[in-house]
Amino acid sequence: MINIEIEKTNLLYEELSEDALRLARAIYNTHVKNDYYLDMQINLKNVYNLLNLEESTESINYIKNLFIELNEPICVKNFLYKHKTYPMRFVIFCNYTFTDDAIELELSEEYLEVEARYMLDAFLTN
């Protein structure tokens, strides 16, 4: 087995906006509260309240843009994941779908691993 030394680095290309950080941390805290399940459904009214938004098409578009911001791929070099080493791996925060009144999403287990072990600029647990 190849021995890979993990070196923490800054992996975010740009800092996340305050609202994107607030949304990501709320999603992460929901993940922790729900016994670390990766799949979750978040009521849109809760997101409106979290971000101090009114229910509207503009607000939905704003929230969608926050998810685009959060899902900017992160490149990790020498990524060791589940006993396999990837010389270069791109990971995203989550997969998501908007329904009429909720957001169904699945957090990326790979992203959580990167955040915990590879990022100097970790933001979910800070």
Q: Are strands 102-107 and 94-98 parallel, antiparallel or unpaired?
A: antiparallel
Exposure of 100 in the CB half-sphere (CA atoms within 13 A)? 0
Q: What is the end-to-end Cα distance of the chain in Å, rounded?
A: 33
Output the pLDDT for position 113.
92
Predicted confidence (pLDDT) at residue 115 exceeds the cutoff of 80 = yes
Maximum mean pLDDT: which of 8-12, 13-17, 93-97, 117-121? 93-97
Res 1: pLDDT: 47
Sketch the domain layout of the chain as residue ranges. Answer: 18-117
> Across the chain, where does the E strand assignment appear?
39-43, 74-81, 84-91, 94-98, 102-107
Average of per-residue pLDDT values in the chain: 90
Q: Quick check: 103 and 60 in contact, CB under 8 A?
A: no
| Bigger pLDDT: 80 vs 5 | 80
Pick among 1.10.10, 3.30.70, 1.10.730, 2.60.40: CATH of 18-117: 1.10.10
Rg (CA), the chain: 16
Quickly count helices (H) and strands (E) in the chain. 4, 5
Average pLDDT for 15-30: 94
Give residue-wise pLDDT tens across range 36-74.
999 999 999 999 999 999 999 999 999 999 999 999 999
Q: How many CB atoms lie within 10 A of CB 82?
A: 7
More confident residue, 94 or 125: 94
